[in-house]
Amino acid sequence: MATLARRFASLTLAALLAAAPPLWADDTESVTRHGISAFGGLKYGPDFPHFDYVNPDAPKGGTMSFRGTGASRTFDSLNAFILAGEPAQGLARLYDTLLVPAHDEPDSVYGLLAETITYPEDRSWVIFRLRDGARFADGEPVTAEDVVFTLETLQAQGAPTYQIRLKDVARVTALSAREVRIDFADDASTRDLIADVGQIPVLPAHYYATVEFARSTMEPPLGSGPYVVDGADAGRQITYCRNPDYWGADLPVNVGKDNFDCVRYEYYADNTGAFEAFKTGGYLFHEEFTSALWATNYDFPALDRGWILREEIADDRPSGAQGFWLNLRRAQFADPRVREAIAMMFNFEWSNRTLFYGLYERTDSFWENSGMQAEGLPEGDELALLETYRDQLPERVFTEPAVTPPVQSPERGLDRGTLRAGKRLMEAAGWRPGPEGLLRNAEGQTLRVEFVSASAGFERIVLPFIDNLKRLGVNAIYTRVDPAQMQQRQEEFDYDVVIGRFILPLSPSIELRTLFGSESAAAQGSPNLAGVQDPVVDALIEQVIAAPDRPTLETRVEALDRVLRAKHIWVPNWHKGSHWIAYWDVFGKPAEKPPYDRGIDYWWWDQEKYDALKAAGALR
């Protein structure tokens, strides 16, 4: 989208503003603050020195290294803002945002690029005043025009998630070099819009005057953040090193953060190769996501000698919506009874005992392990809200407890009673067994269900599930593809069933449109894996976004959770309220982890520990 800089390159911003007539008359009473919260006040005052969970005296130095992850376990682009290409991990380190979250508050953000924010009580608009001295890595100042360029460009050319996220931004106007005003649509729910827009990376307009924004590229991009790209080898490794001239190092929101001189991501073709590399120092920090490995693979020499430490750290966020997502865009999943019967064939109890070493709990809610999951029968304010949509909802939403997967025997792959119940649902939906035992509909078609994954570890979980589906009469198959194919198929919704996990925030808001909203169902590359298109879901999402206080928010999320579960859009998996981590003992860390973050960005390099391990021959 054209910007003021491109339209009037020969004029200064000040001249343009001086010549332009006022775009509006606005006498709305407003407040000016250093941060904003969705509900209530802020924990930290305007003169706070740093967040409580950091070590303000943390030394700088050393290199942190991780395994590179992502849907494709590789990367071929350094442009994280478009759908084309697979972006490298860690690109957010290059960019500053107007606002940043505090990880010990559920819904508060504070100024980074923005020195102050000014907004009215109804939050229908906001003025961000940029900090004097904010600079991009090339030394050019961050201006209001860069904010205009960023939001207009992402609205027009960004990935679908950005376009949906910014749909309520009606107008962005540079008031001066350091002040930018954002007006939101008249019918928008504005509770979280300021915070959400404020956390979008600000891009340099002058850089994209000669660089095509919508092109996948391996050229290092320009940002204003604490790191710059030091080296990138597509699909193998990317290293970010601290910008020695970073403008914002001493800001209160940055004190004690980004303590490593460099951060490196190492990419490996598979989990086995990655873990073997970690054990010999190929990278230094590893988070484990596989229960079998966590239970059986941590008995190697470096761990026994204390060179590597193994910890389970608490995660106080909702535990994550992980499951087998059924693609409702496919005709075979049109009937919710079919979807329910398919979900019943997954025996979590057997899987947990046999495959997961008993380390997980069953998930039933999209907001598992939080105060927002639906339980029992709807009542009170939740019931009153659902009554509004009674004629559009199945009666069981009101007469039965929130949908919960059946508990099965851990001793056998599939309970006979569960199998009989599944067959009754299939018959009611018009699917009856043919001569060869496969279910067929009135047209004689079989019920074919293809599971698609790029993970070798996924097979041990899905194959018993497929066996159970075959006993039901489903023509279930498993297809393993390479990571690049998986990425493409997921972006194009070319699957029947796919596994996925989303960490839903403590204060659900605009992101719900991209996960479950009708608009995102057809938007290529969106995270609406199930293809949910439902007017009641859309209405409840908007109710959640508009909630005026936390009790109302929680009630409305409960109603949304109940309705989504009643639609049987997924086969819920499992969860744990913690992170499994292992790391070489070369780091220091604050005494307390922030409750709503892993906290790794606040660790630091301990040179004495490193020297000791090196002297012992542990690290090269």
Q: Which residues contact 511 (CB under 8 A, 6 or more apart)?
A: 165, 504, 505
Q: Average pLDDT for residues 411-423, to the nearest whole number?
A: 93
The pLDDT tens digits for 217-241 are: 999 999 999 999 999 999 999 999 9
How much is the pLDDT for 9?
Answer: 31
DSSP notation for 355-379: TSTT--EE---TTTTSTTS--SS--
Instruction: Give the whole-angstrom CA distance, residue 207 versus residue 533.
Output: 39
Torsion of Cα atoms, 248 then 253 then 255 then 261, to 10°: -60
Instruction: Give the whole-angstrom CA distance, residue 454 versus residue 479.
Output: 9
The pLDDT tens digits for 246-299 are: 999 999 999 999 999 999 999 998 888 999 999 999 999 999 988 989 999 999
- The encoded tokens of residue 457 equal 């570890």
Q: How far apart are the first and last CA of the chain?
A: 50
Q: What percent of the chain is helix, strand and coil (3-state, nearest 5)?
A: 30, 20, 50
Percent of the chain exceeding pLDDT 70 equals: 95
How much is the pLDDT for 16?
Answer: 30
The pLDDT tens digits for 92-129 are: 999 999 999 999 998 999 999 999 999 999 999 999 99
How much is the pLDDT for 18?
Answer: 33
How much is the pLDDT for 241?
Answer: 98
Q: 58 and 469 in contact (C-beta within 8 Å)?
A: no
Q: How many degrees, rounded to 5, is the angle at CA 571 between CA 569 and CA 576?
A: 120
List, in sequence order, every residue forming a beta bridge with 266; answer none if it has no partner.
Answer: 67, 237
How much is the pLDDT for 470?
Answer: 97
How much is the pLDDT for 505?
Answer: 86
Q: Within 13 Å and on the Cβ side, how many CA atoms surround 363?
A: 26
The pLDDT tens digits for 359-378 are: 999 999 999 988 899 999 99
476 three-class SS: strand
Greatest alpha-carbon span in the chain: 81
Instruction: Give the whole-angstrom CA distance, residue 180 versus residue 448.
Output: 54
* pLDDT greater than 90 at residue 328: yes
What angle separates helix 416-428 from helix 336-344, to the nearest 10 degrees? 170
Region for 136 from its dihedrals, namely left if φ exceeds 0, alpha if ψ lies in -120 to 50, beta otherwise: beta
- In this structure, the number of other CB atoms found within 10 A of the CB of residue 406 comes to 15
Q: 544 and 553 in contact (C-beta within 8 Å)?
A: yes
Instruction: Give the whole-angstrom CA distance, residue 73 versus residue 482.
Output: 10
pLDDT band at 435 (very low <50, low <70, confident <90, very high): confident
**Range 74-90 burial, b when 16+ CB lie within 10 A, else e:** bbbbbbbbbbebbbbbb
- The encoded tokens of residue 556 equal 């409305």
More confident of the two residues 349 and 2:
349
How much is the pLDDT for 315?
Answer: 85
196 three-class SS: helix
* pLDDT greater than 60 at residue 27: no
Phi, psi at 100, each rounded to 5°: -135, 150
> Does the pTM of the predicted model rise above 0.85?
yes
* pLDDT greater than 80 at residue 71: no
Domains along the sequence of the chain with CATH: 4-51+95-206 (3.40.190.10), 321-575 (3.10.105.10)
Q: Nearest to residue 28, comparing CAs of 123, 129, 169?
A: 123
Phi, psi at 142, each rounded to 5°: -85, 120
Q: Which residues contact 67 (CB under 8 A, 6 or more apart)?
A: 265, 266, 267, 268, 274, 278, 283, 286
Instruction: Give the whole-angstrom CA distance, residue 19 versus residue 400.
Output: 65
Q: Average pLDDT for residues 169-184, to the nearest whole number?
A: 98
How much is the pLDDT for 72?
Answer: 58
Percent of the chain exceeding pLDDT 90 equals: 85
Q: Average pLDDT for residues 312-330, to the nearest whole number?
A: 91
Tell me the pLDDT of the chain averaged across its residues: 92
Strands 587-588 and 604-605: what pairing? antiparallel
